[in-house]
Structure 1
């Protein structure tokens, strides 16, 4: 004859059923941008985009976490300042071209993880041939927070109008030093600024004295035109500008780079 279960056994069985049948929590929704953020293309569709971190053509060698679409998202005051600068540059025969805008904190975290992985030197020959990877934090090339995550910083350059067709990057293709002569490095269709974008090198400092001639002239053309509209240059990167005053000077956002992150129609 089968023994009857004890009350203790019944209680344990019921407890197990309660645990295994409890509904699992749904995945947390992605954060969205405050209404002060806009897509730059909605503000000025004439501005060219070359959003590098959604592609593998960047110093990590792969698309970066948080970049879901090749979109430039900025706070509205920053976007409108870039628009005003674009109008002035177009009158001179140039267009702005954007490499990066708002950057999610998760992307910055992925940069930190990449910098700590000293075995990953896939893109060294192009982006940091003269800087040992162990020095990226100490030399200020990688940090745990970025002004880009506050939404008013933009990386950009100038392109002559009409823009030339730009060769696509093919993963695995031979890499060329980002500070090589313009005829040798990756064929970006922008004006020659002396280095490529995201070149981890002191030659990227906006006013490095070794940069002269047309390269210096082009840097100053970009810098002066943007600063007239309230976009201040970061002296160590000729491509990096921040609108002042920033609407969110102390907030580091983490919504994805995607038009769906913008909660209101723009």
Structure 2
């Protein structure tokens, strides 16, 4: 697969850093170009994630998805906005090299920087078997997104019963360990995502894939920048 890049540069002005955008493969878009006000916390660009370090392939804090998935998300965002709510994205397109980084991390049982917050009750050696880590990810096909809902007036996440990327049964959509309000919130997210063409993943309440994704068998590896 050939990917043609425009001239890349980083320009620092005071405390601001400007990242030049690459030329994306056909059928991909920068989410912020289509949904300018989208809220996000790109966890793998920084160290607040289960690995505890910046993940390979995330070169700038920007969101990339297939154009089809982005356009569907725009519809979700507009409907939520009418209710005083909005989306908050944790991860979108994920290069294969990032998935490989996760795989390598999972085999190092002594690397437990994020254990206390993200997998306090699990042995790292079981993460593959339990379905939290895999050799391939739908994110690398460009139409899978991890997200939650926030309230617009204070930008606070609504209570989903467990945080993003928490490895444990409480993160399963139908967990018996969440209360009525948390179940209602998860159902709100699932229903509005389903309305606009996304399907969820039973083991992660935050994980959704566009049903009619354009690249069902292609796993991309261009960097996020």
TM-score normalised by length of structure 2: 0.89
Question: Equivalent of 1:211, from 150, 166, 178?
Answer: 178
**Computing the radius of gyration over CA atoms, which structure comes out larger, 1 or 2?**
1
- Look up the SS of the partner of 1:220 in the other structure: helix
Partners of 1:237 and 1:147 in 2: CA distance? 13
Please name the residue that 1:135 is paired with.
126
Q: Which runs of 4+ in 1 moved over 3 A?
A: 28-33
Question: Equivalent of 1:61, from 41, 49, 52?
Answer: 52
1:150-169 to 2 correspondences below 5 Å: 150-164=141-155
> After superposition, what is the alpha-carbon deviation per residue over 1:202-222, rounded to whole angstroms, capped at 9, x for unaligned?
110111122221111111111
Please name the residue that 2:112 is paired with.
121
Which structure's residues are more often strand, by fraction?
2
- Look up the SS of the partner of 1:143 in the other structure: coil
1:109 matched to 2:76: no
> After superposition, what is the alpha-carbon deviation per residue over 1:73-105, rounded to whole angstroms, capped at 9, x for unaligned?
000110011000000000011010000000000
Partners of 2:214 and 2:154 in 1: CA distance? 33
- Look up the SS of the partner of 1:239 in the other structure: strand
Structure 1 unpaired stretches of 5+:
1-27, 165-188, 259-266
- Larger RCO of the pair (alpha carbons < 8 Å, separation 6+): 1
Count residues with an aligned counterpart.
207
- Look up the SS of the partner of 1:238 in the other structure: strand
- Look up the SS of the partner of 1:154 in the other structure: strand
Partners of 2:63 and 2:200 in 1: CA distance? 18
Structure 2 unpaired stretches of 5+:
6-21
The RMSD of aligned alpha carbons is 1.5
Question: Equivalent of 2:205, from 238, 242, 261?
Answer: 238
